[in-house]
Amino acid sequence: MTSENNQQSINQEQLAVYEVFIRSNRGLDHKHVGSLHAESPEHALMYARDCYLRRSEGVSVWVVKSTDITASQEDDIPNFIDPMDDKPYRHATHYVLPENVTNM
Amino acid sequence: MQTVNDAEEQLKFDQRIIDEQKIEPTDWMPDDYRKNLIRQMSQHAHSEVIGMQPEGNWITRAPTLRRKAVLLSKVQDEGGHGLYLYSATESLGITRSKLIELLQTGVAKYASIFNYPTLTWADMGAIGWLVDGAAIVNQISLQRTSYGPYARAMIRICKEESFHQRQGYEIMTVLAKGSVEQKEMAQDAMNRNWWPSLMMFGPHDSDSAHSGKSMKWKIKRQSNDYLRQKFIDQTVPQIEALGLEMPDPELKWNEDRGHYDSGEINWEEFYQVINGSGPCNYQRLKHHKKAHKDGEWVRTAVRAYQEKQTAKNQTNVA
């Protein structure tokens, strides 16, 4: 159907990658669902609609150019994010309540 | 002026509220709904940030290293909660600097409880237990508020705040079971913080200026008096468990109502503190202005770095 030339011009590698976020219901956060290639944000939005929203998966879509996302490095997580395991007092379960106090 | 389009949008908005749907930032909303939200959410954000002061007062004087670490964590959380709420408020189209300006010029309010001084270490116990306890009752209710970003911020905040009340109660437990002086200190801090904590829920429903609209729009889900009663009912057994005297002699179980009865709040004091004449109003705003001014060099440095980077990138491109 498509000539070789045309295929060349819409070669996916030449298109920007967009990350797709969908809000499944009003009131909820947008959640990452996947990515796609597109030539413009508008195109990405339409493409996201066609790809990811065929079964009423959501009420709102965000598309963000992947290169516009600054991400942490998976390998570097132990250095980057301190789980604060040495600070158990940040959790309610750390505190012992008197037996007769049941509603806190 | 209302256009035909506005009237249509208004119907859609009203239906969403009826259907328990959330309103999101890009939706059309009535001007008054937006204004009301900005007022309530910014007041909430300011309360988180101003609330850091009375507790910050005791960080350097916490009795043990553990208490100091706990208090630091709590105050750090409050700063974070201020940020969540400011960001959510900004989604309504108002800038951060405008919000700060409204606070510093006294136009915007914050919870009046933070205009009281923290006189002893026991205040750290009473605040965590009573003030955060009252805030949690209010915030749990607000998890169901109609504005999406506000509801989501409340869910995050409630999750993080779970330890705040317990660490306060733990302080109270230790003091109440300690020496005579410690027990007196606990009693005194509870007595002083009790009434301002009840005031946190706002005026009686019959006198509340904003309640009617807020309830209609489901910004507020439960009334001031309902939430205040809920707080009283859950707190009285906790006072009994501490073995302290009731802070209000009229606190008595009412079998017929299935609730505790309580004495009348001093509303004159409430309005005086709200309108600027509390013991620490001047000090709190003065400190906020100073901290904001002292931080100006950081903002200047960020802007300078940004400009430098932009210039560098432009040179590289050229």
Q: Residue B117, Cα to own-chain centre: how many angstroms?
A: 17
Contact assignment for B163 to A91 by CB distance below 8 Å: yes
A24 domain-assigned: yes
* Number of domains making up chain A: 1
Structural domain span for residue A65? 14-69
A29 domain-assigned: yes
Q: Which residues of A touch B145 (CB under 8 A)?
A: none
Contact assignment for B167 to A90 by CB distance below 8 Å: no
A52 domain-assigned: yes
pLDDT given for residue A14 in this prediction = 80
Place of tokens 């509303």: B267
Count CA atoms within 13 Å of residue B230 on its CB side: 18
pLDDT given for residue B317 in this prediction = 75
Cα B93 to Cα A95: distance, rounded to the nearest angstrom = 41
Tens-digit pLDDT profile for residues B167-197: 999 999 999 999 999 999 999 999 999 999 9
Does the ipTM exceed 0.90?
A: no
- CA dihedral angle for residue B287, residue B291, residue B293, residue B296, rounded to 10 degrees: -170
Cβ-based contacts under 8 A for chains A and B? 57
Cα B198 to Cα A101: distance, rounded to the nearest angstrom = 20
Per-residue 3-state assignment (H helix, E strand, C coil) for B233-295 = HHHHHHHHHHCCCCCCCCCEEECCCCEEECCCCCHHHHHHHHHHHCCCHHHHHHHHHHHHHHC
Tens-digit pLDDT profile for residues B84-104: 999 999 999 999 999 999 999
A32 domain-assigned: yes
Is residue B211 within 8 Å of residue B223, measured between CB atoms?
yes
Q: For position A56, which CATH number holds?
A: 3.10.20.520
Is residue B96 within 8 Å of residue B86, measured between CB atoms?
yes
A87 domain-assigned: no
**CB-nearest partner of A95 from B167, B238, B241:** B167
A90 domain-assigned: no
Most confident of A56-60, B6-10, B42-46: B42-46
Q: What is the pTM of this model?
A: 0.90
Interface of B with A (CB under 8 A): 16, 21-22, 24, 66, 69-70, 73, 133, 148, 151-152, 162-163, 165-167, 169-170, 173, 234, 237-238, 240-241
Q: Residue A8: pLDDT above 60?
A: no
**Closest chain A residue to the Cα of B230, Cα to Cα:** A103
